[in-house]
């Protein structure tokens, strides 16, 4: 399933590897290197999914997800954290912050590509499933 994916990452090596893997899978990739830039691109381009680092200058991933979920034009876009989970409790904190999933760093190419495909299909199903009858 081809998608427009906004990738937000301040580390140049991670940005290039993730960009390469997403493009190799046929996705259109939009890039930003901090949360503030990512927020601007999300509002302007309305991507199908956002994959975002957490630790970034200017605006980190937690501030970004808070801003996205407050913006009616962006709150429906699935947002996936790209994180090393370096501290105990990180995983719970990520999901509580409102992220729709996570990908772990360091990026393992085959695993990353498979997880992106899974996340796209599961989020697509969630978006398309009709509301439950009252
Ligand atoms: Mn970072």
Taking the centre of ligand 1 as the mean of its atom positions, its distance from the CA of residue 94, in whole angstroms, is 15
Taking the centre of ligand 1 as the mean of its atom positions, its distance from the CA of residue 128, in whole angstroms, is 33
Taking the centre of ligand 1 as the mean of its atom positions, its distance from the CA of residue 125, in whole angstroms, is 30
- Ion ligand 1 neighbours (CB, 5 A) are 10, 53, 55-56
Across residues 80-105, what is the average pLDDT? 89
Report pLDDT for 130. Answer: 59
pLDDT > 70? residue 42: yes
Helix axes 61-69, 35-45, angle to 10 degrees: 30
Question: pTM score, two decimals?
Answer: 0.91
Place of tokens 């999914």: 49
Taking the centre of ligand 1 as the mean of its atom positions, its distance from the CA of residue 10, in whole angstroms, is 5
As a whole number of angstroms, the distance between CA 50 and CA 22 comes to: 12
Taking the centre of ligand 1 as the mean of its atom positions, its distance from the CA of residue 68, in whole angstroms, is 19
Instruction: Categorize the per-residue pLDDT at 132 as very low, low, confident or very high, splitting at 50, 70 and 90.
Output: low
Taking the centre of ligand 1 as the mean of its atom positions, its distance from the CA of residue 71, in whole angstroms, is 24
Instruction: Please give the domain boundaries of the chain with CATH numbers for all domains.
Output: 4-128 (3.40.50.2300)
Q: Which residues of 85-122 are buried (b: 16+ CB within 10 A; e: fewer)?
A: eeeeeeeebbeebebbbbbebebeeeebbebbeebbee
Reduced to 3 states, what is the DSSP secondary structure of residue 93? helix
Cα-Cα-Cα-Cα torsion 14, 65, 34, 47, nearest 10 degrees, comes to 70
Report pLDDT for 17. Answer: 97
Pairing, β 28-32 against β 101-104: unpaired
Instruction: Categorize the per-residue pLDDT at 127 as very low, low, confident or very high, splitting at 50, 70 and 90.
Output: low
């Amino acid at each position: 399933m081809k998608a427009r994916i906004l990738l937000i990452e301040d580390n140049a090596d991670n940005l290039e590897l993730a960009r390469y893997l997403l493009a190799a899978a046929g996705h259109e990739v939009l890039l930003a290197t901090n949360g503030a830039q990512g927020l601007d691109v999300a509002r302007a381009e309305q991507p199908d999914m956002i994959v975002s680092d957490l630790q970034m200058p200017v605006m980190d991933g937690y501030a970004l997800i808070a801003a996205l979920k407050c913006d009616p034009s962006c709150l429906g876009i699935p947002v996936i954290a790209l994180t090393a989970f370096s501290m105990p409790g990180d995983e719970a904190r990520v999901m509580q912050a409102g992220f729709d999933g996570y990908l772990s760093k360091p990026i393992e190419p085959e695993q990353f590509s498979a997880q992106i495909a899974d996340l796209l299909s599961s989020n697509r199903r969630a978006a398309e499933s009709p509301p439950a009858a009252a």
